[in-house]
Amino acid sequence: MVCPETSSDEPLTPAGRLFLQPETDVVIHCIIRGKNPADMDAIKSAIKSSLMVQHPRFCSLLVRDKNGFEHWRKTPIDIDQHVIVVNNRLDKSGNFIDETQGSTTTEEDDEAAVNQYVADLSVSSPLSTDKPLWELHVLPAHKCAVFRIHHSLGDGISLMSMLMANCRRTDDAEALPKMVPDKKTVIKGEKGRDWFWLVGVLWWFLKIVVFTLLFSVEFVLRSLLVSDEKTAITGGDGVELWPRKLATAKFLLDDMKLVKRAVPDTTINDVLLGMVSSGLSRYLDHRTPNALHEGLRITGVAMVNIRPQPGLQDLSKLMKSNTKARWGNKFGVILIPVYYHKGGNDPLEYLKRAKATVDKKKHSLEAYFSYKIGDLVMSLLGPKYACMLNYKLLCNTTFTLSNVAGPLEEISLAGNPLSSIKVNTSSLPQAITMHMLSYAGKVEMQILVAKDIIPDPEFLAKCFEDALLEMKEAVLRTNKA
């Protein structure tokens, strides 16, 4: 929509402009499943009174001035334009079922049907710019709803924080969801600071400098020249337009914590990367047995929140323009290599290698560098070149991976207790993207694939599930010994 600029218009951030380019036009999908049937009146009432429609991003049109620069322009909200009701039941292929013929479906069938519905949305249904860039698709027959929110409105942390601010705990209708507790920083006193302490600080600083230079150079090379060796899961230029399938890998948070405790100073992200490394090795062994050399590098892209506070944020702080924990797209990108290894290895070796990789990344400023370089290219050269570099980076890597820690306990939305919350994004030029979110002790990872390259994402999901179970069994054997 091209309109003359007005004084109340707000320009988009550089990251927001990037996500509006045709090659990197990204929509975030959040699938929420209720325990009770959907009550449309309650849903619309909850939206009208929610913090979401009070936020400027969710009640603004995207407009362009005569020079082609994008702006946000406040507009009245018509809830009926944003809420889309799909009354028919869907089958596992995403087609409507003729319920007059009689049919029975299981919970697994329901999940597969909703996944395929979202997979189809991921590649063929951009959001209309005639209204603010969000929608809610309600599927009453599946007790499910799908939030579709354009990435230019904010990153996953901003949008999940917004969703949580509108939810309440099931055991206390007035209480906000309980999130992962903040880690308290212990500040040590001056006592004991000697030459050894000084050497430790200098060594720590040297590692930050070396790893930042090393990973920053690698990031630039990946954005321009270097690409992964071609395998059975490699995507590339134009793959974002190919049909998609979506599968869900399911884990228990307690299992991940058990594995985490087996290696000192390990995090859930280390366990996730170990699972991905093992699972991809299993899958490639199945697809192309004996075709790949040991130690083959498979590079992923991970989004890192660079706000001072990790995890989901206090919405009131996000909405303040003068705070560092501000609303919007406040994330950097890091490259995460995993390596192909044939079966038969100690399952915990995948975790140890993953931890070594992540530890090096923690001692670098790669995420901040990628954020600043993207901002600089957008400001100096414009969205065309920023988009070209971002798109090239995705074409030169194999997968995208993200992880968000969700509520610790069950929550409700619009009075309906939620049984699951899952997230994914619309398609990218990679053939595989993985987005993990924890909720009330359960962890679910959405695996979106280009189905002409990876025709069996359900098997890939099982590879990841089996990888965690093997690590868990290895830990239990060690504990018994």
Q: Domains in the chain, ordered, with CATH?
A: 10-169 (3.30.559.10), 206-480 (3.30.559.30)
Mean pLDDT within 63-83: 89
Residue 344 burial by Cβ neighbours in a 10 Å radius (0-12, 13-18, 19+): exposed
102-116, 284-298, 366-380: least confident range: 102-116
The answer to whether 407 touches 440, Cβ cutoff 8 Å, is yes
> What residues act catalytically?
151
The rounded distance, in Å, linking the Cα atoms of 157 and 147 is: 15
Choose the most confident range, by mean pLDDT, from 187-196, 318-327, 384-393: 384-393
3-7, 13-17, 452-456: least confident range: 3-7
For residue 451, count other CB atoms closer than 10 A to its CB: 16
Token code pair at residue 350 = 């995948």
Per residue in 112-130, pLDDT (tens digit) is 999 999 999 999 788 999 9
For residue 6, count other CB atoms closer than 10 A to its CB: 11
Per residue in 417-452, pLDDT (tens digit) is 999 999 999 999 999 999 999 999 999 999 999 999
Whether the model clears a pTM of 0.85, i.e. scores above it, the answer is yes
Residue 411 contacts by C-beta under 8 Å, 6 or more apart in sequence? 164, 167, 168, 169, 170, 177, 417, 418, 440
The rounded distance, in Å, linking the Cα atoms of 298 and 231 is: 9
- Higher model confidence: residue 311 or residue 222? 222
Per residue in 285-344, pLDDT (tens digit) is 999 998 899 999 999 999 988 876 655 545 555 555 555 446 778 888 999 999 999 876
Mean pLDDT within 457-467: 97
The rounded distance, in Å, linking the Cα atoms of 459 and 283 is: 8
